[in-house]
Amino acid sequence: MKKVPNWYVITGGPNSGKTTTIDCLKDMGYHVVPEYTRMMIDKEMARGKTIQEIRGDPKVFQERALKLKLLLEKNAPRNKLIFLDRGLPDTIAYHRFLKLDMPKRLFKMSKNRYKMVFILDLLPYKNDYARTENGQEAKGIHRQIKKIYRELGYKIVRVPVMPVENRVKLILKNLK
Nearest to 45 by CA among 125, 127, 128, 126: 128
Tell me what the mean pLDDT of segment 124-149 comes to. 88
| Spatial separation of the C-alpha atoms in residues 146 and 152, rounded to whole Å | 10
Per residue in 45-85, pLDDT tens?
Answer: 899 998 888 888 889 888 888 888 888 889 999 999 999 99
Query: Which pairs with CB-CB distance under 8 Å and at least 24 residues apart come from 63-72?
Result: 64/40, 65/36, 65/37, 65/40, 65/91, 65/94, 66/91, 66/103, 66/106, 68/36, 68/37, 68/39, 68/40, 69/36, 72/33, 72/36
Q: Using CA atoms, how far apart are residues 47 and 3, in angstroms rounded to an integer?
A: 40
Confidence of residue 1 (pLDDT cuts 50, 70, 90): low
Domains and their CATH numbers in the chain: 7-173 (3.40.50.300)
How do residues 14-32 score in pLDDT, each as one tens digit? 999 999 999 999 999 999 9
Q: How far apart are CA 156 and CA 17, in angstroms?
A: 17
pTM for this model (two decimals): 0.91
CA angle 64, 9, 58 (to 5 degrees): 25
The pLDDT confidence band at residue 131, using thresholds 50, 70 and 90, is confident
Is the pLDDT higher at 159 or at 40? 159
Q: Which tens digit of pLDDT belongs to each residue from 151-173?
A: 999 999 999 999 999 999 999 99
CB 4 within 8 A of CB 81: no
